[in-house]
Amino acid sequence: MTVTSGPGFSLMMENIGLAAMLETPCVIVNVQRGGPSTGLPTLPGQADMMQARWGSHGDYEIIAVSPNSPQECFEMVIKAANLSEKYRVPVLVMTDECVGHMTEKVIIPEADQIELYPRRYTKLPPDQYLPFKAGKDLVPEMVKAGDGYKIHVTGLTHDEKGYPVMSWEVQEKLVRRLVEKIRSHADELEDIEETQMEDAEVVIFSYGISSRVCIPALQKARGEGIKVGLLRPIICWPFPEKKIKELSSKVKAFVVVEMNYGQLFYEVERCVAGKTKTLLVPHGGGWVHDPENIYNAIKEAVK
Amino acid sequence: MKATVTAQPAEVTEHPMEALLRMDRIPHIWCPTCGIGTALTAFAEALKKIDYPLEKVCVVSGIGCTGRVAGYIKLDSFHSTHGRAIPFATGLKLANPELKVVVFSGDGDLAGIGGNHLIHAARRNMDIAVFCVNNFIYAMTGGQVAATTPLTATTSTTPYGNFEQPFNLPHLAASCGAVYVARWTALHVRRLARSMAEAMNKKGFSFVEIVCPCSTIYARRNKLGTGLDLMKFYHDNSVIKHGADTRELDIEYQKKIIVGKFIDRERPTFLDAYNDWLKKRLKDKFVAYGGPQC
């Protein structure tokens, strides 16, 4: 596990690609600041969400979680570690400066109450083991260096043996698996918190600190009889497509509140595919949204 | 009657390096007369002389021509990202201190893009052995000037000759704190193998520079002939000087190359220092880290 904020995330992108390629379980925390470049050290931002998804070159999938409280940071880092072991994939904890510096009560359970996903070591002997051969769940089993398996691991496109092969067939098989091992588990990776969504006609879509700033706007609009709810993805990548697609034929509008000029907003638009209205409440970072702006967007949405 | 001698093929025996090479990956990608294969052969020889069981030896490479070594050696072997072999090796070593971790990579990888990692691993006395093939150029990417290119040598990015002062690698490693520092050329195969074995048996940060011919890129651009001509050059111009002052080990363009073992000293490793210090500060509260070696 390693922790950074913005520039460090950019600097080490190449190695996130290596971790994706080698299928190395790891957790990377990015406490987002305003950017680009050095930007706003120790002031909030949420503008690295697309970088988290696409930052290293090539095609791959990662998992990203976005906690919005200290308690959830505690829980999500454990969950991130577990998911990284289960899927052998880098898991990114995409929080922001506000949540990062926030002081709130955190309940820490006894160590034996914390569920940990054990690393998946192979039971096969060295002569039968192939380091990148996966079963039905598309996730290969691991070995430890020094146990006599004499494995080879490379960032080059490789076959099941782990040996480099420069061919489109091997590339196709490998990259498809790296992508599919996450995409085919998208349903079980859905983690969404719903607030007053039962009768909602307007859906606020927001995560991290921004989701908390939406609450006063939601309450004010509810006070005026507007049926508005909040959808908060706790796992942002893979994107909760299914949920957004389901809702897009039922609701009047999505109001996306994020501290950037449109990142997950474009994912919402993609899933909505013109079936309903989408509004973005953007923010350049450095401070949280004014709830009044969110309220105004809700009013605009129900017009 | 003339006796006919039918050459009976000797019984097919295993190639002496077969147990240590991934034979299913041979032929390798290196050019004819490249020195990396020779350095790898010396490494295979050295592995026979070390105190560690081979299943505990790991090889980490970065990117570049020498970066491909990890792909041919039949040990747990890791081909990482450009310049990052040393941090990868550091992680491997700290995660399992029982392992003997060897970094085998090139000058561009270790002293150029990865220079920062090199100096800090030496400073910390991380317990790894670093074997650095120096062919004076970024060969795989087309012959750009490197941090080791001798002054005046021609490269694809210095068509009028190099004007940047190159690194003196043994001096760099030694002044940053390496406990074992040697330099050989691809000609000195036995001495090189012995040095590699010593470096691996040494506890702490060991560094061996291996000056190697690159006939396709470096020699061709500088009209120095073939790899064989460069071997002849090493033969005529290498001076063995054990214990030489590392400040005097600069390599000038087509001048003498001082080789030998320059440094062999003791210093607490990163993990020893960590354990000793925290034991002093925390006393009984501290549980030493490091597996059976501690």
Q: Which pLDDT band, with edges at 50, 70 and 90, does B293 fall under? A: very low
Residue A35, min C-alpha distance to chain B (Å): 26
**Which of A96, A113, A130 is at the close of a domain?**
A113
Q: Could you tell me what percent of chain A has a pLDDT over 90?
A: 100
Q: Is residue A76 part of a domain?
A: yes
pLDDT in tens, A212-255: 999 999 999 999 999 999 999 999 999 999 999 999 999 999 99
What share of chain A in percent tops pLDDT 70?
100
Q: Do B55 and A147 touch (CB under 8 A)?
A: yes
Q: Measured between beta carbons, which residues in chain A are less than 8 angstroms from residue B58? A: 145-146
pLDDT at B8 over 70: no
Write out the residue range of the structural domain in which residue A249 sits.
192-302
Mean per-residue pLDDT for B94-102?
96
Query: How confident is the model at residue A92, as a pLDDT?
Result: 98
* CATH classification of the domain holding A297: 3.40.50.920
Question: Does residue A75 form part of some domain?
Answer: yes
Per residue in A176-193, pLDDT tens?
A: 999 999 999 999 999 999
Pairwise CA distance, residues A288 & A43, whole Å? 9
A14:B81 CB<8 A? yes
B79 interaction partners in chain A (CB closer than 8 Å): 152-156, 164
Query: Which of A54, A80, A113 finishes a domain?
Result: A113
The closest of B36, B228, B218 to B142, measured between CA atoms, is: B218
Q: Establish if B231 touches chain A: CB-CB under 8 angstroms.
A: no
CATH number, position A67? 3.40.50.970
Chain B hits for A154, CB-CB cut-off 8 Å, are 70-71, 78-79
Q: Is residue A82 part of a domain?
A: yes
Closest-CA residue of chain A to B69: A152
In-domain check, residue A235? yes
CB A146 to CB B81 under 8 A? no
Mean pLDDT over A110-115 rounds to: 96
The DSSP line for chain A is -EEE-THHHHHTHHHHHHHHHHT--EEEEEEEEE-STT-EEEEE--TTHHHHHH-SSSS---EEE---SHHHHHHHHHHHHHHHHHHTSEEEEEEEHHHHH---------GGGS--PPP-B--S-TTT--TT-B-TTS-B-B--TTSS---EEESS-B-TTS-B---HHHHHHHHHHHHHHHHTTTTTT--EEEES-TT-SEEEEE-HHHHHHHHHHHHHHHHTT--EEEEEESEEES--HHHHHHHHTT-SEEEEE-SSSSSHHHHHHHHHTTSSEEEEE---SSSPPPHHHHHHHHHHHH-
On the question of pLDDT at B1 being above 90, the answer is: no
Q: Does B94 touch chain A (CB under 8 A)?
A: no
Nearest CB to A146; choose among B24, B56, B77? B56
Give the per-residue pLDDT at B294: 42
- Domain membership of residue A215 (yes or no) is yes
Give percent of chain B above pLDDT 90. 91
Chain B residue numbers with beta carbons less than 8 Å from the beta carbon of A14 are: 81-82
- Shortest CB distance from B92 goes to which of A145, A150, A151? A145
Mean of pLDDT values over B111-136: 98
Kindly report the nearest CA distance between residue A82 and chain B, in angstroms.
19
Q: What is the mean pLDDT of residues A13-35?
A: 97
Superfamily of domain B20-287: Thiamin diphosphate (ThDP)-binding fold, Pyr/PP domains (3.40.50.970)
Q: Which B positions 41-60 lie with beta carbon below 8 A of chain A?
A: 55-56, 58
- Note the pTM of the prediction, 2 decimals: 0.94
ipTM confidence: 0.93
User: Which residues of A lie inside 8 Å of B (Cβ-Cβ)?
Assistant: 14-15, 18, 144-156, 163-164
Name the minimum distance, in Å, from the CA of A139 to any CA of chain B. Answer: 20
Each residue's pLDDT tens digit, A125-173: 999 999 999 999 999 999 999 999 999 999 999 999 999 999 999 999 9
User: What's residue A274's pLDDT?
Assistant: 97
CA–CA distance, A165 with A172 (Å, rounded to integer): 11
The rounded percent of chain B whose pLDDT value lies above 70 is: 95
Query: Which chain A residue has the Cα nearest residue B79?
Result: A154
Tally of structural domains, chain A: 2
Instruction: Measure B162 CA to nearest chain A CA, in Å.
Output: 29
Q: What is the mean pLDDT of chain B?
A: 94
**How distant is the alpha carbon of residue A120 from its chain centre?**
23
A146, B55: Cβ pair inside 8 Å? yes
Say whether A155 and B79 touch across the interface (CB within 8 A).
Answer: yes
On whether residue A170 sits in a domain, the answer given is no
Of A18, A144, A148, the CB nearest to B81: A18
pLDDT at B6 over 70: no
A197 and A291 fall within a common domain = yes
Rg of chain A's alpha carbons, rounded to an integer?
21
Question: What residues of chain B lie within 8 A of the CB of A15, using their CB?
Answer: 81, 84
Residue-averaged pLDDT of chain A:
97
Specify if A121 maps to a domain: no
pLDDT at A38 over 80: yes
pLDDT surpasses 70 at B4: no
Cα angle A29, A33, A37 (rounded to 5 degrees) comes to 105
Buried b (16+ CB within 10 A) or exposed e, A195-218: eebeebebbbbbbbbbbbbbbebb
Q: What pLDDT, on the 0 to 100 scale, is given for residue B51?
A: 86
Domain boundary among A113, A134, A158: A113
pLDDT band at B259 (very low <50, low <70, confident <90, very high): very high
Q: Where are the alpha helices (DSSP H) in chain B?
A: 36-47, 69-72, 85-95, 107, 115-124, 169-176, 189-201, 220-221, 227-237, 270-282
Task: Report the pLDDT averaged over residues B182-207.
Answer: 98
Give the closest residue to B34 by CA, choosing from B179, B162, B108, B136: B136
Pairing of strands A202-206, A152-154: unpaired
In-domain check, residue A147: no
CB contact at 8 A, B251 and B212: no
